[in-house]
């Protein structure tokens, strides 16, 4: 019986040996050299693998079959994706999602190969490794700087790496500082680069309530100060409105505090960082905080100096602290009454406790309260009385000078209807300038004074359009006037000619002392012709663009939006051109020129002093005298419009 069993066992062993002899060798028995017979010098098909590719790789000692364990025979078909989790179990367990993308669901999230490479995988500490901290911005940027990828995944922040490289962290990393914060330092959760969670996940390192801890990995003592401060306390209680590190410093674009572009730079801190919360009506109401803090600071000596660019003057953080900010009733607060002398003494060593206790933030500034407020009121009254008296004195003198001018012998320059035309034009133009620029400069004191009342800005728009219609109607009136006998003569005399350019040169020479003789202007000088034709051009441009902007809902059906944007730009800058031309060119020639001061009264009466007319328009006077002589001798007059008979007032 025993012999039979031995024979049976021997036979089974022989059968097994024969069976194993005809089976192919297992993948583990293949050598790398056998794989290289096909995968070397291939030109890319099949994938090329060379000893140089594997040289330096952290897996250089591995056989191909250690990773490609699914291969059963050589040559082989397309291999399955390598399962790195067979060795890297913890990493595979951690890597269930990347941001909002889930493994096995979103095909666009990175795989092991995307970040680490394939056959040439290097250790993290190697400078050439794509996952070396200093190389992470480039590695992550392959996806996160791809606009098409960002668009597809709904990522609104399209250039985080570009922004990061200009930050204080990015510059340090580019400078080779290994400890500088890079992508994984902030985005990895529980220290695992394979556990990058979206900010909405409560476990995410960049979740609102975890940011302080994340930044605290490098900035330990600052995190401690923040958590002790009121902002950190609110964050600990789950208040989503509480400011965190990124609220003040930014996220990828964190800049040094001495960079003038930084929101926490001394000159920008109050307006760019603190005021968005402390000037928020909703937050102030919810937390029962006082309002007007920014205004009261900006109106103070410190605020004025800060706005002027002084980075050494006190700002919000100088008094309240930067991270350990506490309310005034906390005994350890820098603004607690007992600590104010020490706080203010940082800049003012000799300050007394009484001065340090002076209220800083009020509904109005300290200059408007107490004795200072009383003195302010006295000075306001004094300014109104003194300057008002000066203005009244000047006005009385001005009226006296105007009366002297109007008593002189006069020459008619405009008929009554022309005077009315000019008045309507001037009134419409003035209203258009004030109502138009009030829209652009609505925060200016004069704009607030004119239209700052409730409903004022609705009225402003209606007033602007009414004034525009009046200007166009005045233009139509003037157009028909040009067909009258006097209008035709006016147009003929107003047409520019080469002699105007000659007279311009002569006038420049006279004013510069190069000529002794004043140019002999006709009825209209080049100054008057220039402003008249500028008025014609400006009225046409402002009228056309104004109507297109008024009825934009109609024109947008026929014209591209970009065309209307161009019309808006033209309307705005043509308004500036017209306004400045009137202030500089017209007002000087009719009011402020010493020859005309206090004014040329023809815009009110239609007449101007004869002596002014003779001095400014001698050629017109000579032509009128020739015409009168021709008429007396029975000849037809062919000159320009003669001045009307003179009169005295």
417-430 pLDDT, tens digit per residue, is 999 999 999 999 99
CA distances 174 to 125, 134, 252, 260, Å, are 16, 7, 15, 21
* Residue 595 banded pLDDT, cuts 50, 70, 90: confident
Region 353-358: mean pLDDT is: 87
Region 41-64: mean pLDDT is: 81
Q: What is the pLDDT of residue 572?
A: 97
Quick check: 25 pLDDT over 60?
A: no
Pick 4 or 647 by higher pLDDT: 647
Quick check: 483 pLDDT over 80?
A: yes
Quick check: 8 pLDDT over 70?
A: no
Cis, bond preceding 75 (omega within 30 deg of 0): yes
Is there a contact between 250 and 286 (Cβ–Cβ < 8 Å)?
A: no
Q: What is the pLDDT of residue 32?
A: 72
Quick check: 638 pLDDT over 50?
A: no
The Cα 54–Cα 113 span in angstroms is 15
Quick check: 105 pLDDT over 60?
A: yes
* Residue 14 banded pLDDT, cuts 50, 70, 90: very low
Q: With 0-12 CB in 10 A as exposed, 13-18 as middle and 19+ as buried, what is 514?
A: exposed
Query: Residue with structure tokens 């409730």?
Result: 454
* Residue 363 banded pLDDT, cuts 50, 70, 90: low
Task: Compute the C-alpha angle 447/448/451, nearest 5°.
Answer: 80
Q: What is the pLDDT of residue 89?
A: 93
* β-pair type (188-189, 607-609): unpaired
Q: Which of these ranges, 68-82, 376-390, 454-468, has the smallest mean pLDDT?
A: 68-82
Pick 614 or 146 by higher pLDDT: 146
Quick check: 366 pLDDT over 70?
A: no
Q: What is the pLDDT of residue 530?
A: 95
CA distances 344 to 314, 336, 351, 357, 411, Å, are 9, 12, 7, 10, 72
Quick check: 479 pLDDT over 70?
A: yes
Quick check: 30 pLDDT over 80?
A: no
Region 364-386: mean pLDDT is: 81
Average predicted confidence (pLDDT) for the chain = 88
Q: What is the pLDDT of residue 23?
A: 39
Is there a contact between 428 and 474 (Cβ–Cβ < 8 Å)?
A: yes
Q: What is the pLDDT of residue 417?
A: 93
Region 159-175: mean pLDDT is: 94
**Radius of gyration of the chain from Cα atoms?**
43
Q: With 0-12 CB in 10 A as exposed, 13-18 as middle and 19+ as buried, what is 470?
A: middle
Q: What is the pLDDT of residue 368?
A: 58
Q: What is the pLDDT of residue 631?
A: 46
The Cα 218–Cα 209 span in angstroms is 17
Query: Residue with structure tokens 């024109």?
Result: 555
Region 107-113: mean pLDDT is: 92
Euclidean distance between the first and the last CA atom of the chain, given in angstroms as a whole number? 159
Percentage of the residues of the chain whose pLDDT score is greater than 70: 90
Q: What is the pLDDT of residue 260?
A: 93
**Which two structure tokens, joined as six digits, stand for 91?**
């990493």
**Which two structure tokens, joined as six digits, stand for 157?**
């922040």
Q: What is the pLDDT of residue 20?
A: 40
**3 state DSSP class of 176:** coil
Q: What is the DSSP-derived secondary structure letter of residue 201? A: S
The Cα 344–Cα 319 span in angstroms is 7
Q: What is the pLDDT of residue 131?
A: 94
Region 618-647: mean pLDDT is: 56
* Residue 43 banded pLDDT, cuts 50, 70, 90: confident
**3 state DSSP class of 582:** helix
Q: What is the pLDDT of residue 217?
A: 95
Quick check: 296 pLDDT over 50?
A: yes
Interval 495-546: pLDDT, tens: 999 999 999 999 999 999 999 999 999 999 999 999 999 999 999 999 999 9
**3 state DSSP class of 121:** coil
Phi, psi at 259, each rounded to 5°: -80, 125
* Residue 50 banded pLDDT, cuts 50, 70, 90: confident
Q: What is the pLDDT of residue 13?
A: 45
**Which two structure tokens, joined as six digits, stand for 153?**
């995944």
Q: What is the pLDDT of residue 5?
A: 43
Quick check: 431 pLDDT over 90?
A: yes
Q: Which of these ranges, 152-161, 249-258, 328-337, has the smallest mean pLDDT?
A: 152-161
Quick check: 566 pLDDT over 90?
A: yes
């Amino acid at each position: 019986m025993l012999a039979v069993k031995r024979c049976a066992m021997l036979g089974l062993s022989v059968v097994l040996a024969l069976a194993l002899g005809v089976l192919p060798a297992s993948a583990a028995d293949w050598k790398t050299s056998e794989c290289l017979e096909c995968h070397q010098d291939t030109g890319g098909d099949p994938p090329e693998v060379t000893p140089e590719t594997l040289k330096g790789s952290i897996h250089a000692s591995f056989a191909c079959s250690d990773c490609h364990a699914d291969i059963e025979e050589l040559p082989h078909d397309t291999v399955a994706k390598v399962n790195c989790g067979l060795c890297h179990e913890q990493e595979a367990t951690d890597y269930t999602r990347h941001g909002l993308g889930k493994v096995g669901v979103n095909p666009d999230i990175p795989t092991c190969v995307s970040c680490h490479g394939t056959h040439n995988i290097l250790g993290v500490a190697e400078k050439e490794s794509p996952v070396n901290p200093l190389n992470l911005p480039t590695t992550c940027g392959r996806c996160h700087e791809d606009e098409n990828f960002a668009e597809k995944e709904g990522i609104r922040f399209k250039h985080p790496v570009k922004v990061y490289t200009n930050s204080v962290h990015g510059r340090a990393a580019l400078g080779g500082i290994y400890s500088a914060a890079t992508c994984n330092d902030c985005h990895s959760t529980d220290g695992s680069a394979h556990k990058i969670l979206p900010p909405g996940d409560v476990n995410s390192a960049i979740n609102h309530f975890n940011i302080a801890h994340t930044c605290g990995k490098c900035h330990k003592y600052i995190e401690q100060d923040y958590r002790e401060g009121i902002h950190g306390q609110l964050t600990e209680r789950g208040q989503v409105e509480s400011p965190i590190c990124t609220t003040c410093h930014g996220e990828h674009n964190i800049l040094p505090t001495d960079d003038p572009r930084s929101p926490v730079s001394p000159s920008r801190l109050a307006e760019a960082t603190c005021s968005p919360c402390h000037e928020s009506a909703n937050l102030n109401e919810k937390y029962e905080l006082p309002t007007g803090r920014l205004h009261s600071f900006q109106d103070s000596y410190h605020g004025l100096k800060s706005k002027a660019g002084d980075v050494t003057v006190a700002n919000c953080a100088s008094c309240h602290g930067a991270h350990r900010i506490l309310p005034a009733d906390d005994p350890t607060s820098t603004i607690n009454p007992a600590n104010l002398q020490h706080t203010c003494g940082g800049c003012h060593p000799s300050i007394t406790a009484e001065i340090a206790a002076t209220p800083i933030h009020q509904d109005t500034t300290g200059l408007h309260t107490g004795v200072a407020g009383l003195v302010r009121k006295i000075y306001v009254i004094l300014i109104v009385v003194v300057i008002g008296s000066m203005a009244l004195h000047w006005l009385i003198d001005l009226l006296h000078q105007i009366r002297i001018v109007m008593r002189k012998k006069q020459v008619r320059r405009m008929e009554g209807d022309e005077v009315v035309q000019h008045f309507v034009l001037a009134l419409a133009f003035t209203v258009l300038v004030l109502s138009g620029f009030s829209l652009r400069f609505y925060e200016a004191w004069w704009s607030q004074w004119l239209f700052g009342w409730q409903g004022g800005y609705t009225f402003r728009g209606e007033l602007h359009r009414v004034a525009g219609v009046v200007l166009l109607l005045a233009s139509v009136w003037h157009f028909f006037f040009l067909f009258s006998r006097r209008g035709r003569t006016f147009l003929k005399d107003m047409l520019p000619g080469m002699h105007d350019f000659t007279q311009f040169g002569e006038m420049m020479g006279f004013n510069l002392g190069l000529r002794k003789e004043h140019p002999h202007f006709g009825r209209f000088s080049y100054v008057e012709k220039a402003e008249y034709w500028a008025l014609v051009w400006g009225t046409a441009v402002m009228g056309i663009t104004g109507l297109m902007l008024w009825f934009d809902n109609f024109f947008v059906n026929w014209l591209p939006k970009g065309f209307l944007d161009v019309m808006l730009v033209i309307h705005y800058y043509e308004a500036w051109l017209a306004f400045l031309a009137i202030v500089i060119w017209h007002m000087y020639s009719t009011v402020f020129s010493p020859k005309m001061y206090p004014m040329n009264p023809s815009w009110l009466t239609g007449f101007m002093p004869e002596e002014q007319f003779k001095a400014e328009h001698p050629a017109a006077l000579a032509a009128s005298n020739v015409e009168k002589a021709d008429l007396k001798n029975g000849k037809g007059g062919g000159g320009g419009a003669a001045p009307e008979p003179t009169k005295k007032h």
